[in-house]
Homo-oligomer: A and B are copies of this chain.
Amino acid sequence: MIETVATAESNRELAEGYLLLTVDLKDDVLVGAGQFAMVKPLASFEPVLRRALAVYRVHGPRRVSFLYQVIGSGTSALARLGRGDKVEALLPLGNSWTIDDQVSRAIVVAGGIGSASVLMLCERLASSRVETRVLLGAASERVAVGCGLEDFRALGLPLVLTTDDGSLGEKGLITAPLERELRERGGRAATIYACGPWAMMKRVAEIAEQFNTRCMVSLEAPMGCGFGVCVGCVVAMKTDKPLGYGSYKRVCTDGSIFPAEAIRWEVNAMTH
């Protein structure tokens, strides 16, 4: 974990409301697939807190990029960054996606901008002997493009696409093809890697349980610090002694990646 002032190398719009920010760091970092950073334009006063962004890609020890959707004041401020502008960044944060020996067949499921935290995972799976299928869900073709569609296509992995409006791929939610795949080929041998909004993660977890499929999810929670000290980003865990110490874990340091079965899904960690 390093605290550094990065320099924006480019900040390109992939689709309306979706940008790819590439920055140069002053020091070397070793980033694992699925890890994130806390970022903010240098010397910006409002909003005060930094924003959590997954490291989308690593271009070298000192160059990384972030793929982000413009939501409110924080991401809008990032969207105004131009080449040469400075960015305060703390990284890498959180745990990484693991591809252990148990994994023979992988299903990567991403909803919307959740794609940002799985591209590097897909790269590693593509270069491994693990049979991999990538499921990307988005609101529309525009959003899919904004969420890095071309980068995923370039990996050459089998890709299943769904959009809410049917403008690209199959119309509907990404959980539909997931369920189909598990029903047709069985779930036991597979491992699901998922990232997306809370509601989707919850549904994916249900499906995984139904088919006895191993499932890892990367979660979101409002973050004060990103490195474990504010204890504001917690999710509720299944514990034998409910409401005892340990019922809540920090997404930023105990996660952001958790085994789906460990989460108490009825307790939504997000503010909105």
| A249 CA to B111 CA, complexed, in Å | 61
A47: chain B residues at CB < 8 Å are 45
A102 CB–B CB distance under 8 Å: no
A73: chain B residues at CB < 8 Å are 45
Interface string of A16-46 (1 = CB under 8 A from B): 0000000000000000000000000000011
Shortest Cβ distance from A49 into chain B, in angstroms?
13
Shortest Cβ distance from A22 into chain B, in angstroms?
21
Shortest Cβ distance from A13 into chain B, in angstroms?
16
Indicate the size class of the contact surface on chain A. under 10
Shortest Cβ distance from A80 into chain B, in angstroms?
9
Interface string of A71-95 (1 = CB under 8 A from B): 0010000000000000000000000
A46: chain B residues at CB < 8 Å are 45-46
| A45 CA to B46 CA, complexed, in Å | 6
| A253 CA to B99 CA, complexed, in Å | 70
In the complex formed, the residue of B with least CB distance to A47 is B45
In the complex formed, the residue of B with least CB distance to A46 is B46
Query: A143-182: which residues lie under 8 A (CB-CB) from chain B?
Result: none
Shortest Cβ distance from A105 into chain B, in angstroms?
48
In the complex formed, the residue of B with least CB distance to A76 is B43
Shortest Cβ distance from A224 into chain B, in angstroms?
19
In the complex formed, the residue of B with least CB distance to A82 is B82
A45: chain B residues at CB < 8 Å are 46-47, 73
| A47 CA to B44 CA, complexed, in Å | 10
Query: A43-65: which residues lie under 8 A (CB-CB) from chain B?
Result: 45-47
Shortest Cβ distance from A41 into chain B, in angstroms?
10
In the complex formed, the residue of B with least CB distance to A73 is B45
Shortest Cβ distance from A179 into chain B, in angstroms?
43
| A46 CA to B43 CA, complexed, in Å | 11
In the complex formed, the residue of B with least CB distance to A80 is B80
Shortest Cβ distance from A175 into chain B, in angstroms?
37
- A: residues with CB less than 8 A from B are 45-47, 73
The 3 closest A-B pairs by CB, nearest first: A46-B46, A45-B46, A45-B73
What are 4 A-B pairs with beta-carbon distances under 8 A? A45-B46, A45-B47, A45-B73, A46-B46
